[in-house]
Amino acid sequence: MVRVDACLPVEEAAILVAAMTAATDQFGAPPDKPASTTTAESVNPRTYNNADALLDVARVFLDAALEDRSGEDRTMVVVHVAADSLSRRRFGGTG
């Protein structure tokens, strides 16, 4: 198990709480099963809780996020060279 604690300013916490509430509203506890069902889940059904809501908020973000969020083109190489370094004389040329 991993415990996650957060201390947020009120305005930022409100955003997180609103997102978790929206997740709970959308994915909340499943409807009650008929009384004739005798599975372990019907005796002690697992309810949707704040941890479930936080995980769903994280999953939605990760599903929507770009694979590489660095903003950099990882295949581009930039080389800075002074113009006089590229002259033919420097490399033994005649120009």
Please check whether residue 53 is in contact with residue 20, taking contact to mean a CB–CB distance below 8 angstroms.
yes
Domain count, the chain: 1
pLDDT at position 13 is 92
Contacts 24+ apart (CB under 8 A), 46-50: 48/24, 50/20, 50/24
How do residues 61-87 score in pLDDT, each as one tens digit? 888 877 665 666 566 777 888 888 777
pLDDT at position 63 is 85
Top-confidence residue, 43 or 70: 70
The CA-atom distances, in angstroms, between 76 and each of 66, 72, 82 are 18, 9, 20
**Domain range for 51:** 1-95
